Amino acid sequence: MPTMSKALPTHWRRCLFACMVSAFSGCAAVGPDYVEPELAVPDAWHMRIVDQVNEGPEAALQTWWTVFNDPVLDQLVERARSGNLDLQTSAARVRAARASLAITSGERMPVLDGVGQTSRTRQSDDGWLAQVAPDNGFDAQNLYEVGLDASWEIDLFGRIRRSVESAQAEYESTLETERDVMVTLFAEVALTYIEVREFQTRLRYAHENIAVQRQALDLAKERYATGLSSQLDVVQAEATLSMTQAAIPNLETARSQALYRLAVLLGEEAGALDTEFAAAAAIPRPMGRITLGMPVDVVRQRPDIRAAERRLAAQTAQIGVATAALYPEFTLSGFIGLQSRSSDDLFNANSDFWGMSLPVNWNLYAGGRVRSNIELQKQLTEQRLLEYRKSVLDALAEVKSALAAYNNEHARLAALRQATTATREGARLAMVQYDTGLTDYNNVMTMQRDLFQLQEQLAASEAQLDFELIALYKAVGGGW
The per-residue DSSP string of 430-450 comes to HHHHHHTTSS-HHHHHHHHHH
Q: How confident is the model at residue 442 (pLDDT cuts 50, 70, 90)?
A: confident
Cβ(407)–Cβ(47) below 8 Å:
yes
Q: How confident is the model at residue 80 (pLDDT cuts 50, 70, 90)?
A: very high
- For residue 308, pLDDT beyond 90: yes
Average pLDDT over residues 16-27: 49
- For residue 19, pLDDT beyond 70: no
Asked if residue 72 belongs to a domain, the reply is: yes
- Rounded CA gap, 221 and 234, in Å? 6
Average pLDDT over residues 114-125: 82
Cβ(439)–Cβ(219) below 8 Å:
no
Q: Range of 199's domain?
A: 28-112+156-327+370-475
> Who has greater pLDDT, 280 or 341?
280
Average pLDDT over residues 72-99: 92
Over residues 232-280, the pLDDT tens digits come to 989 989 999 999 999 999 999 999 999 999 999 999 998 889 999 999 9
Question: How far from the centroid of its chain's Cα atoms is residue 126's Cα?
Answer: 73
- Rounded CA gap, 141 and 256, in Å? 83
Q: Kindly tell me the sign of the dihedral angle through the C-alpha atoms of 295, 297, 299, 303.
A: negative
In this structure, the chain runs to a length of 480
Cβ(314)–Cβ(173) below 8 Å:
yes
Cβ(313)–Cβ(169) below 8 Å:
yes
Asked if residue 194 belongs to a domain, the reply is: yes
Cβ(329)–Cβ(156) below 8 Å:
no
Asked if residue 480 belongs to a domain, the reply is: no
> What pLDDT was estimated at residue 424?
92
- Of all residues in the chain, the percent with pLDDT exceeding 70 is 89
> What pLDDT was estimated at residue 380?
95
Average pLDDT over residues 37-62: 63
The per-residue DSSP string of 240-309 comes to HHHHHHHHHHHHHHHHHHHHHHHHHHTT--TTTTTTTTSS--PPP---SBPP---HHHHHHH-HHHHHHH
Q: Give the mean pLDDT of the chain.
A: 85
- For residue 340, pLDDT beyond 70: yes
> What pLDDT was estimated at residue 266?
93
- For residue 181, pLDDT beyond 70: yes
Helix (H) or strand (E) holding 49: none
> What pLDDT was estimated at residue 372?
93
- For residue 21, pLDDT beyond 50: no
Q: Are strands 329-340 and 141-154 parallel, antiparallel or unpaired?
A: antiparallel
- The total number of structural domains that make up the chain: 1
141 phi, psi to nearest 5 deg? -125, 140
Put residue 437 in one of left, alpha, beta given phi > 0 → left and psi -120 to 50 → alpha: left
- Rounded CA gap, 207 and 213, in Å? 10
Asked if residue 131 belongs to a domain, the reply is: no
Helices and strands per DSSP (H, E), number in the chain:
9, 5
- Rounded CA gap, 265 and 76, in Å? 9
- For residue 307, pLDDT beyond 90: yes
- For residue 50, pLDDT beyond 70: no
Average pLDDT over residues 297-306: 83
- For residue 45, pLDDT beyond 70: no
- For residue 1, pLDDT beyond 60: no
Instruction: Identify the CA nearest to 182 among candidates 62, 311, 312.
Output: 62
Judged by average pLDDT, the poorest of 49-63, 73-87, 194-208, 255-269 is 49-63
Asked if residue 98 belongs to a domain, the reply is: yes
Q: Is 183 exposed, middle or buried (0-12, 13-18, 19+ CB in 10 A)?
A: buried
> What pLDDT was estimated at residue 27?
61
> What pLDDT was estimated at residue 11?
47
> What pLDDT was estimated at residue 386?
94
Cβ(379)–Cβ(35) below 8 Å:
no
Q: How confident is the model at residue 57 (pLDDT cuts 50, 70, 90)?
A: low
Q: Are strands 352-357 and 141-154 parallel, antiparallel or unpaired?
A: unpaired
Asked if residue 191 belongs to a domain, the reply is: yes
> What pLDDT was estimated at residue 3?
39
Asked if residue 360 belongs to a domain, the reply is: no
Cβ(307)–Cβ(392) below 8 Å:
no
- Of all residues in the chain, the percent with pLDDT exceeding 90 is 43
Judged by average pLDDT, the poorest of 168-182, 288-302, 322-336, 440-454 is 288-302
> What pLDDT was estimated at residue 202?
93
Average pLDDT over residues 202-216: 92
Average pLDDT over residues 355-368: 83
DSSP 179: H
Cβ(219)–Cβ(431) below 8 Å:
yes
> What pLDDT was estimated at residue 12?
46
Alpha carbons within 13 angstroms on the beta-carbon side of residue 7 total 6
Q: How confident is the model at residue 52 (pLDDT cuts 50, 70, 90)?
A: very low
Judged by average pLDDT, the poorest of 293-302, 423-432, 434-443 is 293-302
* pTM of the full structure: 0.81
Average pLDDT over residues 130-153: 81
> What pLDDT was estimated at residue 51?
47
**137: helix, strand or coil:** coil
- For residue 312, pLDDT beyond 90: yes
E strand map for 58-110: none
Asked if residue 2 belongs to a domain, the reply is: no
Which CATH number does the domain housing residue 198 bear? 1.20.1600.10
3 phi, psi to nearest 5 deg? -115, 160
